[in-house]
Amino acid sequence: MVTTVYLSMTTFVEPDLCLYPKRILPEDVRGPDILLAIEVAVASLGYDKRLKAKIYASHGVREFWVIDAAKRVAWIHRQPHFDGTWGSVEERRSDEAIVSEALSSVQIVIGELD
């Protein structure tokens, strides 16, 4: 897990959670290496759903979740396109299970988290 991820020489992000292969040193992680990036939003929901989602997609991050901490709703972004769009964006309610493509054996129900 890393705090700051340099997607390019001029672009960096600080996801709340970032999963990448353990064979890669944290300072060498780039967009396509990221299996899952998660942003937990309180005041930054609009920013995370629009601008950050576009940044992550344009740099090839494989999967990106935005979680609304107050409402416990998640938006699951998959199939990034280098134009900043996503091939798939699904909304999950607090009582619905979420399974990451990177962690297919782990199921998360946001409403059950304290």
3, 9, 55, 58 alpha-carbon torsion, rounded to 10°: -130
Segments forming the whole domain that contains residue 66: 5-112
Q: How many domains does the chain have?
A: 1
pLDDT, tens digit (0-9, with 9 covering 90-100), for 54-74: 999 999 999 999 999 999 999
Q: Provide the mean pLDDT of the chain.
A: 92
For 36-53, what is the mean pLDDT? 95
pLDDT at 90: 97
Q: Which long-range contacts (CB under 8 A, 24 or more apart) does 92-96 make?
A: none
Residue 38 confidence (pLDDT) above 70: yes
The pTM assigned to this predicted structure is: 0.92
pLDDT at 27: 85
Buried b (16+ CB within 10 A) or exposed e, 105-114: eeebebeeee
- Using 50, 70 and 90 to split pLDDT, how confident is the model at 109? very high
Is there a contact between 67 and 38 (Cβ–Cβ < 8 Å)? yes
35, 42, 5, 91 alpha-carbon torsion, rounded to 10°: 20
